[in-house]
């Protein structure tokens, strides 16, 4: 009798669990998995949005086209350049700032934390326009550089390939460093201060403590922020559109910007080719996230 009642209660608990999970599961499928499936199907098709048909002579024409598309390869190189330069610098700065602002003897910690995090609360379009005005030919940065004697004329930051890419990287660092700092700060606050005191008694200096205690204990947080940063950078859009418009001569365009141009920006809705590129970005994000998870997995 008791076993029967136990099984009955267990069955009701499982049913209740599925009932609570069902709405979220349905929404995730509708909002995430179904669009991915539709995007893959569309990537095998060509034509306008009103007249999509299977690509010929091969349904993989959109994918083979990418290998011949110099502009797509250029956008791929640009995106990975931003990723390789900006992400490590941003995460290192975020960890150092978190370590600094976690000091229990620091005064006005709340003010400093707010100041570092505040750029993250700024609208993406607004901050891009601010940086565009700062680095304009007649902008504040040019004025300051001339007044302190570093330059003797206006630099066209947004009109030169190398400096335009530099501006995008600086803008990304300003916008997202504080966001990642919050994660590291939360992780540091979960580390008992007695651990640092014990290391200090054992004669460990600040550098050894940082590498021997802080970094290992923050590894799960570092992996998480690294994956999020890779995901965000591979989908970089606002800075390319609002800061440089992909210029000069498409030299700063990102993959997401190029996908947008093929979907809506060039007057012809080439959804098939845009879907193929989107699916390639999705695969890249998945592969890099898998690698990071494997590298960061400390379990035996």
For 73-126, how does the pLDDT look when each residue is reduced to its tens digit (9 = 90+)?
999 999 999 999 999 999 999 999 998 888 777 888 888 888 888 888 888 888
Q: Considering the domain 71-296 in this protein, what is its CATH number?
A: 1.10.3720.10
Residue 299: band (very low, low, confident or very high) from pLDDT cuts 50, 70, 90: low
Please, which residues bridge with residue 45 across strands?
54
Q: What is the pTM of this model?
A: 0.84
Whether residue 2 has pLDDT greater than 60: no
Task: State the pLDDT at residue 89.
Answer: 94
Task: State the pLDDT at residue 4.
Answer: 64
- Count the neighbouring beta carbons within 10 Å of the beta carbon of residue 118: 10
Question: CA–CA separation, 137 vs 147, rounded Å?
Answer: 15
Q: Which residues contact 259 (CB under 8 A, 6 or more apart)?
A: 274, 277, 278, 281
Report percent pLDDT > 70 for the chain. Answer: 94
Whether residue 6 has pLDDT greater than 70: no
Task: State the pLDDT at residue 300.
Answer: 46
Average pLDDT, the chain: 85
Task: State the pLDDT at residue 80.
Answer: 92
Q: What is the pLDDT of residues 31-53, one digit of tens each?
A: 888 988 888 888 888 877 677 77
Q: What is the pLDDT of residues 147-204, one digit of tens each?
A: 888 888 888 998 888 899 999 999 999 999 999 999 999 888 887 777 777 777 777 7
Residue 247: band (very low, low, confident or very high) from pLDDT cuts 50, 70, 90: confident
**∠ CA 194-226-210, rounded to 5°:** 25
Task: State the pLDDT at residue 94.
Answer: 93
Q: How far is CA 103 from each of CA 97, 107, 201, 209, rounded to the nearest angstrom?
A: 10, 9, 18, 14
Residue 224: band (very low, low, confident or very high) from pLDDT cuts 50, 70, 90: confident
Do residues 116 and 97 touch, judged by C-beta distance below 8 A? yes
Task: State the pLDDT at residue 172.
Answer: 92
Tokens of 73: 């390869």
Helix 109-117 crosses helix 70-101 at what angle (to 10 degrees)?
A: 180
Query: What are the boundaries of each domain within the chain?
Result: 71-296
- Mean pLDDT of all residues in 275-281: 89
Task: State the pLDDT at residue 254.
Answer: 93
Q: How far is CA 116 from each of CA 111, 129, 253, 273, rounded to the nearest angstrom?
A: 9, 20, 28, 40
């Amino acid at each position: 009798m008791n076993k029967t009642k136990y099984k009955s209660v267990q069955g009701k608990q499982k049913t209740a669990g599925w009932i609570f999970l069902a709405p979220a599961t349905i929404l995730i499928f509708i909002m995430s998995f179904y669009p991915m499936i539709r995007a893959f199907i569309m990537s095998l098709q060509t034509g306008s949005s009103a007249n999509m048909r299977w690509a010929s002579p091969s349904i993989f024409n959109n994918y083979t086209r990418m290998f011949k598309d110099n502009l797509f390869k250029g956008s791929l190189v640009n995106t990975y350049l931003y990723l390789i330069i900006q992400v490590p610098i941003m995460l290192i700065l975020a960890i150092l700032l978190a370590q600094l602002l976690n000091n229990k003897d620091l005064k006005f910690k709340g003010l400093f934390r707010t100041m570092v995090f505040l750029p993250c609360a700024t609208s993406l379009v607004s901050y891009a326009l601010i940086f565009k005005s700062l680095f304009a030919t007649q902008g504040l940065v040019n004025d300051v550089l001339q007044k302190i004697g570093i330059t003797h004329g206006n630099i066209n930051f947004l009109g030169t390939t190398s400096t335009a890419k530099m501006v995008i990287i600086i803008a990304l660092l300003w916008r997202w460093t504080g966001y990642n700092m919050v994660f590291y700060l939360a992780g540091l606050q979960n580390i008992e201060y007695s651990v640092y005191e014990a290391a200090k008694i054992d004669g460990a200096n600040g550098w050894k403590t940082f590498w021997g205690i802080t970094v290992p204990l923050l590894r799960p947080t570092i992996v998480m922020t690294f994956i999020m940063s890779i995901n965000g950078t591979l989908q970089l859009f606002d800075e390319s559109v609002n800061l440089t418009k992909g210029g000069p001569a498409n030299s700063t365009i990102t993959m997401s910007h190029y996908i947008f141009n093929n979907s809506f920006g060039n007057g012809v809705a080439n959804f098939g080719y845009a879907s193929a590129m989107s699916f390639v970005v999705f695969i890249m994000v998945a592969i890099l996230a898998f690698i990071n998870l494997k590298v960061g997995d400390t379990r035996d």
